[in-house]
Every structure is written in C-alpha cells, then in structure tokens.
Amino acid sequence: MSGGTTRPGPDRRSAALRLAEWTAVAVFVIAVYEVIVAGGVALWPDADDAWILALWVAAAVISASGMTAVRGAVRSVFVRFRPSAAGPYTTLVSFAAGASAEPVEQMLPRLAELLARGTGARRAEVWLADRGGGFRRASSWQSTQTAGAGETDRVADLAALPQDREVLPVTDAGELLGALTVAGFDDGPFTPRDLLLASNVANAAGLLLRTADLEARLIDRVRAESEQAEILRASRRRVVAARDAAREQIGRQIRSEVCDPLETLIGRMAGLHEEIAGMRDELPSMIAEAETVITRFRRVVRGVYPSVLADHGLQAALGNLLETVERPTALDAEDLPRCPARIEACVYFCLATMVRGWPDGDERLRIAVTAVQDRLRVTLTDPQASDMADVATTAVLEAAGDRIAALDGTLTATTESDGLHLVIDVPATEPE
C-alpha cells in the first residue's frame, strides 16, 4: 500500500470559485476606494494633500482587512448555489457504498479526492499512523498538476504538519489511526459547511484506516513468515549438506585408515605361498599391522558416535576426544552431571568438529564445562586467536549454530585480553 498521489486535470469548479473570489475582492476594493477617497474629496473639495493621503491610507487598511471576509462570503454563496454535480454528501454516500467492493490501496486515493472535491480544497491528504510512532502520507489529491515541492512523506507528530492545512484526526475505538488534511486555495478559509463535511468524512474513515492498518500488518506478517521460511529452507539445505559431507568424510577415513591397509595386508598374505619358509618371520609384523588397523577402525567408529559418550557421559567422552587432538588442550569439567543424550551429543560433536580442525599453536587450548541453573555452558579459550574466522570455517560455524539453535541454545564468540572465547550455552534439560 504505497502513498501515491493522484493528479487529475484542472478542476473547472475550483477555477470558477477562484475567479468569483477575486472578482468579488476586486469589486470590494474599488468600492472602498470610491466611497472613502472619492466620497471624501467630493465632500471636502478644498482639502489639503495630507487629508487626501489619510483617506488613501484608510481605504487601503479597510480593503486589506475585508478581503478575507469577502472571500469567505463568496465561497459560502458559491457552494450554496453552485454545488458539485452530485453534491458532497451524495458523493460521500457513494464512496461509502463502494468502499467494501474495492481494494484499500484504491480507496485511499478516492478518499483524498472526495475530501478535496467536497470541500473545494486545492489539496487533500490521508495520513496513517505508524506502529513505531509518527505518521506517513498514504495518499494525496491536488487540483493542479504541480506537486508540493520539498514536502516530506513522514512526520513525527500531527503538529508538525504545515500550518496552512486543516488537520482532522481519524480515530476508531479511541485509537488514533491517522488524520485527514485539507488546504484551501491561497490559504483561504473554509466555510463551516466545508469543515462539517470534512469532519464527517474523518469520522467515517475510521473503519477504512483500520482496514488499511490491518492490511499493512498482514503484509508485514506474510513478509516475515516468508523470510523465516527461507531461513528454514536454507538451514535444511545446510543440514543435508553437512550430513553428506560427514558421510563422505567417514567414507574417506574408513578407506584411508582401514581399507587401504587391509588391502595391502591381503596382498602380502597372498604372496606368502611362495615364501612359506619365511612365514614365521613375517607373521608377527602382520599381526601387529592388523591390530593397528583394528585400532584405527575403532577410532573411526568412536568418531561416528562414541560408546563412551552414551555409557559414561560428556566428561569422559571429551577426555577421550582431546587425546586424539594434535594441539595440547586442557579440560575442566569436574563433577559434571549427566544430561539428556541430545544435549551431550550436541556439545560433543560441536566441539569435536571445531577442535579437530583448530589451527596449531604453542599455547594450550582451554575447555571449561559447567552446569548452572539448568544450563550447560562450554567455554573454549584460545590465547593465540582473536577472530572466529581465524580458527573455523563458515560452514563449520553454521553447522554448529544450527545444531545448537535446534536446542534453544546460543553460540557466541568474544575477544578478551586473554584471547578468543567461544561460548556454547544450551539447556541442561530437553527443550519442549
């Protein structure tokens, strides 16, 4: 619902009204000068120049003070004897009848035009109240092709509107929904009949402005829901991509850690039939190599889902994890209570994904895990880092953030005097 401005061609009725106003003003000025100046000279033909000058000044003062009253009187007579084709109140009834059949974005310009034509204004505007404060111009109508230069489309308060306009607040159930404004030709006054009509239009416009407000809220809600849906779709895509990447990583790791060594071992065993005599010497080394492969395979299986995590909890699982990390890391997780499996798995896999790819350094990483007031808080501190971009990729951070957010948790990073602090905060109980 944009605040467009309707600009029709010249209004003949308004032009005729202005012509009548200025004709009456011209006649009034001429009559004043004839009565005051010419009449004074005729009564005192021998008057000196000072007296004649005083007559001219008096005529000028009377003419200037009477122009506004003359224009107002002409407007009253003109509106009474020269109404619009259908009449302002007939137009109001027609507008109300068609209001329910047209979209709101079309009714607001019609409302501004109705107000201008019914009161004989040169310009009429519809202002809507914003929920965040202030008012914005939703529509306007003016009788000429020239728009108001330098005018703003938003004001903080109705008092900030130009002083040359009549401001009519629009309310519904005691709530201020907006305002209607009208401006006369050459800042001329409006007749009581014009102001009454404008007031009636403002009173009747409450439901329309309420509908416009509800429509704007609906548009905002639909836009927000669309953005959330797009965020959800993007999150799901990242989850799928992360799963695929994890499967590929496990496949490569099993290939390099288990399959390739076993194939090599099979090849060596196949050639033993030619070297039966040396079998006793080769057998111990083959057994040791097979045990090494089994150990590596167990490590891969623990990476998929370590049994120690399910059997002994997060503290023991993190201890085993840090034994496989190249960079020295200190763990502080004493007296850590058991949490639901989803919570412990979330913390474990987020830390495992990050610390396995953490850059090497001379100083030790520090991981502190605490449980306070039904919250599980993990703080990873790197004294040598200052920014998350230096220690983790965007994909790793997004995957960890999605997993943590699914449990109503947060992932934050801050830089302090003792280095980079990465904080994982999740509930210690299952979220509903």
What radius of gyration, in Å, describes the C-alpha atoms of the chain? 43
* Short-list 254, 164, 250, CA closest to 242: 250
Q: Residue 12: what pLDDT?
A: 63
CA-to-CA distance for 38 and 32, rounded, in angstroms? 9
For 384-406, letters b (16+ CB in 10 Å) and e give ebeebeebbeeebbbbbbbbbee
**Mean pLDDT calculated for residue range 295-308:** 66
Helices (H), 271-339: 279-304, 307-312, 314-323
pTM: 0.42
Tokens linked to 353: 């994904």
On the question of pLDDT at 315 being above 80, the answer is yes
Tokens linked to 186: 């050459």
On the question of pLDDT at 425 being above 90, the answer is yes
H/E segment holding residue 394 = helix 394-405
Q: pLDDT tens digits for 240-297?
A: 567 657 766 776 777 777 777 777 776 766 666 556 555 666 667 777 777 777 767 7
CA-to-CA distance for 38 and 43, rounded, in angstroms? 9
Q: pLDDT tens digits for 114-152?
A: 888 778 788 888 888 887 778 888 888 886 544 444 466
Q: Which residues contact 160 (CB under 8 A, 6 or more apart)?
A: none
Q: Residue 14: what pLDDT?
A: 66
On the question of pLDDT at 359 being above 80, the answer is yes
Compute the mean pLDDT over every residue in the chain, rounded to the nearest whole number.
Answer: 76
